[in-house]
Structure 1
Amino acid sequence: MKLASLHQGRDGQLIVVSRDLTKAVHAHDIAPTLQFALDNWEQVEPDLQHLYRNLNDGVAHDVFPFNPHGCASPLPRAYQWADGSAYVNHVELVRKARGAAMPESFWTDPLMYQGMSDGFLGPYQDIQAADEAWGIDFEGEIAVITDDIPMGTRTEQLHDHIKLLMLVNDVSLRNLIPNELGKGFGFFQSKPASAFSPVAITPDELNDSWYDFKVHHRLTVHLNGELFGQPHAGTDMTFNFAELVQHIAKSRHVGAGTIIGSGTVSNLDRTSGSCCLAERRMLEAIENGIPVTPFMKFGDTVKIEMFDDDGRSIFGAIEQKVVKYTNVYDKQDLERHKPV
C-alpha cells in the first residue's frame, strides 16, 4: 500500500496512491490524516488496503491524478524523529578525514540523535538557509514509521511494528556542526527541517527486496541534474532497522508515528558514489589532502529517488532547491528604522 498526505492544515490530508504513482483517491472517510491511521492502525488498515486494491484494479470512485508537487511529507509533523547512523563505514570515513580514531563500540552500539519533528518539508519544498557559509548539505536516507512499541521490545518482535517506509533528505549545515558537537550536547542548529518522499509504503510493496529489516535497492541521488551517487541501501548497513528501533526502545515506550532514519546510505565500494557532499569531500581530503567539492549554493538542486528492478520509482522523488532565507522580522525592522 502507498500513502501520501496533501498539503492541508498542519497534519495534511491522507490519500491512497496507486502502485504506479499515477492516480490517487481520498481516504478521509477512513482516516483524515496519516497520524490518525497510525494511531488506529488495526482498525483502519484493512479498509485502506481495500481502497488501495480498488484503486489499482480501476474500480475506485472519485479517482484523481496523483501530483507529488501537491504533497506534504507523509507525516507533515511527527511526535518523534530519531535518526541513526547505520552505515558505520560512513562514520569511520568522516572521522578518518579529520584524523580521529573511531571507538570500537560504534560497530556494536548504534549512533542516534533526536531531530526536529514539529514541521517537515514536503518533497518539493525549498531548503531555506540564511547563509551559504553554513555548509549546506543533503543526506539521502531511508526511514521507517512505527506503531506503538513497548519499552524493551527486542529485534525478533519488531516485524509487525514497522508499518511504513519513506525516503529522507536529512538536511545538514556542516559548518555549524563542529561548534555544536564541541559543546558535548549534540546537534541542534546544524540539523534544520528534513524532507521526506511524497509517498510512504508498507513493507510488502518491496516484495523480496525487504528482508533482514533492510531495503535492498539502490538509492539514487542527483545534484544539479547530474548523477552524484547510487549506493546499494542493503549493502554495508551495519545496523538494520530492527536494531535501530530496538535501540530507541531500550529505555522508553515508542509512540505511534515515530520515524527512525537509517543515516546516510553509504557503501565501502566507492564507485557507487555518495549520498551526501560531506562524504565526497572526505574522500577528496583523504586522497588529495584537501576537499574540492563545495557545499550547496543558493539555486542548487538535489533529487533523491529509489527505483525497483524494472526501473519504476517506488516512493516518488524528493527534489529540492536551496534558496536564501530572509527573516521577515528583519525586513519589518528595516522599514521601521528607515530614514525619512
Structure 2
Amino acid sequence: MKLATLKDGSRDGQLIVVSRDLKTAQIADGIAPTLQRALDDWNFIAPQLEQMYNQLNSGRGSNTFDFDPKNCMAPLPRAFQWADGSSYVNHVELVRKARNAEMPDSFWHDPLMYQGGSDDFIGPNDDIVLGSEEWGIDFESEVAVITDDVPMGVKVQHAAEHIRLLMLVNDVSLRNLIPAELAKGFGFFQSKPASSFSPVAVTPDELGDAWKDGKVHLPLRSTWNGVQVGQPNAGVDMVFSFPQLITHLCKTRKARAGSIVGSGTVSNKDSAKGYSCIAEKRALEMIAGGEPQTPFMKFGDTIKIEMLDKNGKSIFGAIDQSITEPEA
C-alpha cells in the first residue's frame, strides 16, 4: 500500500491513497482524514485503505485524479517524534578519520541516535530555504520507518512488528555549524534544520524480497545538480537494522504511533558506489590528499533522492528540491 498527504491549506494535509505505479490517487477522507489518524487506529483503518488501494490498482477506484508529488506535503507533515540513527558506521568512520579522531569501538555495538525537530517537515518538492551558504549546506540521503505504538523495552525480535510504513529522507545538515554545537556536549540543534521526506510512504510488503532482516536491500540514488553522485545499497553495510534502532530508541521510553526512525546516511564501504552526503566525499578527499575539494551546496543547487525497484520503477517517488534563500 502507498500513502501520501495532499496539500489542502491545513497543517496536516489530507490523506490520499496512491497507485502502485504512482500515476493516480484517491482521497481517503471517508476512511481517515490524515495519516496520523490512520496510524492511531491502524488495525481498524489499514484494511479499509488496503481495499481502496486494490481498487485503485485494478482501475476500479472512484473519483481518482492524477498523482503529482508537487502537490504533496511530507507523508507526516509533523510527527510526534523524529529520531535519526547512524546505522552505516562506515560513514561515521570516514568522517572521523578525516579529522584524525579516534573511532570508539562502542560505535559498532551501540547505535548513535539524535532526536531532531519534528514539528515542521518539508514537502518532497518544496524548496529548502536556508539563511546562508556559509553554514555548509549538505544533503543526507536516508531511509526511514514509521512505527505504531512501541512499548518501552521492546525486544529486537518483536520490534519489526511495529513498523508500519517506510519512506525516504533528506536529513539536511549544516556542516559548518556542527563542530561548535558538538563542542558544547549537548548535541545537534541549529545545525539540523527541517528534514524532507519522499512523496509516498509504503507498507513493507511493497518492497517484496528487498525488505529482509529489517533492511531495504536496494540502491538509494542521489543526484546533485543533475549528476548522479551516489547509489549505495541501503541493505549493505547497515550495521544496525531498523528493529535494532527501534529497540535502542525504546530502551527507556515508549514510542507513540507516528514516530519516525531514520537509518542515518546510507553508505557502502565500496567507494565506487558514490556518496549520500557531501561530507563523506570531502572526508575521502581529505584522507587521500589532506584537503577537501568538493564544496558544499549553494543557492540554486538541486538534490534528487530516489529508490527504484528491480524493474526500474520508482517506489516512493522522488525527493526533488532546490536550495533557496529566504525572500527579502
1:259-299 deviations in whole A, cap 9, x for unaligned?
A: 00000000000000000000000000110110000000000
Name the SS for the 2:228 alignment partner: strand
Measured in 2, the distance between the counterparts of 1:128 and 1:63 equals 33
AA matched with 2:323: V
AA matched with 2:60: V
Measured in 1, the distance between the counterparts of 2:105 and 2:289 equals 27
In structure 2, runs of 5+ residues without a counterpart are none
Measured in 2, the distance between the counterparts of 1:122 and 1:87 equals 25
Match of 1:7 in 2: 7
AA matched with 2:42: W
Q: What are the equivalent positions in structure 2 for 1:31-50 lying under 5 Å apart?
A: 31-50=32-51
In the TM superposition, residue 115 of structure 1 has moved relative to its aligned partner by 0.2
AA matched with 1:184: G
Match of 1:336 in 2: none
Measured in 1, the distance between the counterparts of 2:270 and 2:112 equals 22
User: Does 2:151 align with 1:153?
Assistant: no
TM-score by length of 2: 0.99
Measured in 2, the distance between the counterparts of 1:194 and 1:253 equals 23
Measured in 2, the distance between the counterparts of 1:318 and 1:159 equals 25
Measured in 1, the distance between the counterparts of 2:7 and 2:171 equals 20
Measured in 1, the distance between the counterparts of 2:120 and 2:160 equals 28
TM-score by length of 1: 0.95
In the TM superposition, residue 159 of structure 1 has moved relative to its aligned partner by 2.6
Name the SS for the 1:158 alignment partner: helix
In the TM superposition, residue 180 of structure 1 has moved relative to its aligned partner by 0.1
Q: What are the equivalent positions in structure 2 for 1:57-96 lying under 5 Å apart?
A: 57-96=58-97
Q: What are the equivalent positions in structure 2 for 1:93-242 lying under 5 Å apart?
A: 93-242=94-243
Question: What is the aligned-residue RMSD (CA, Å)?
Answer: 0.6
1:181-201 deviations in whole A, cap 9, x for unaligned?
A: 000000000000000000000
Match of 1:323 in 2: 324
Measured in 1, the distance between the counterparts of 2:253 and 2:37 equals 22
Tell me, yes or no, if the aligned pair for 2:159 and 2:244 is still in contact at 8 Å: no
Name the SS for the 1:159 alignment partner: helix
1:114-172 deviations in whole A, cap 9, x for unaligned?
A: 00100100001111111100000000000000000110001111232000000000000
Match of 1:338 in 2: none
Measured in 2, the distance between the counterparts of 1:275 and 1:95 equals 16
AA matched with 2:239: T
In structure 1, runs of 5+ residues without a counterpart are 332-340
Measured in 1, the distance between the counterparts of 2:88 and 2:326 equals 32
Poorly superposed stretches of 4+, deviation over 3 Å: none
